């Protein structure tokens, strides 16, 4: 591992940004017996052990079989997205903004030429109106 990986990779807290805070898979998040409906204590304990054992074993098996491949796929996907944004989307957006500024200036000039004269005339006419209260 590189020194950067050691520095950034926290093996105890693997979701430091709380990306999967919504994912609640602990026994008491999934199974709960309300008051008045309790199973036998040994069954509840055994259920807890079975749940934890199978959840952990199956999760670890799936990550063993698929984790690296899926991580590689997502790495490629996000690299492709970054590439597209850096080399395509952002330059295209900058070009569009530059083009729109020209269109805006042309529209402003047209509005000033067509409506500016009328608005100035109306403004001059109305500026001479005096309102008096009795």
Q: What is the pLDDT of residue 132?
A: 84
pLDDT per residue over 54-88, tens digit each? 999 999 999 999 999 999 999 999 999 999 999 99
Categorize the per-residue pLDDT at 126 as very low, low, confident or very high, splitting at 50, 70 and 90. Answer: confident
3-state secondary structure the chain: CCHHHHHHCCCCCCCCCCCCCCCCCCHHHHCCCCCCCCCCHHHHHHHHHHHHHHHHHHHHHHHHHHHHHHHHHHHHHHHHHHHHHHHHHHHHHHHHHHHHHHHHHHHHHHHHHHHHHHHHHHHHHHHCCCCCCC
The reply to whether the predicted model has a pTM over 0.85 is no
Q: What is the pLDDT of residue 14?
A: 87
């Amino acid at each position: 591992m590189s020194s950067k990986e050691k520095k950034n990779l926290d093996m105890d807290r693997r979701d430091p940004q709380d990306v999967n805070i919504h994912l609640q898979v602990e026994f008491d998040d999934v199974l709960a017996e309300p008051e008045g409906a309790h199973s036998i204590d040994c069954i509840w304990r055994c259920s807890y052990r079975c749940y934890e054992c199978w959840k952990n074993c199956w999760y670890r098996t799936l990550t063993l079989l698929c984790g690296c491949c899926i991580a590689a796929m997502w790495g490629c996907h996000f690299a492709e997205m970054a590439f597209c944004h850096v080399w395509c989307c952002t330059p295209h957006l900058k070009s569009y903004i530059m083009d729109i500024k020209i269109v805006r200036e042309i529209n402003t000039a047209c509005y000033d030429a067509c409506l500016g004269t009328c608005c100035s005339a109306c403004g001059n006419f109305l500026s001479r109106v005096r309102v008096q209260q009795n």
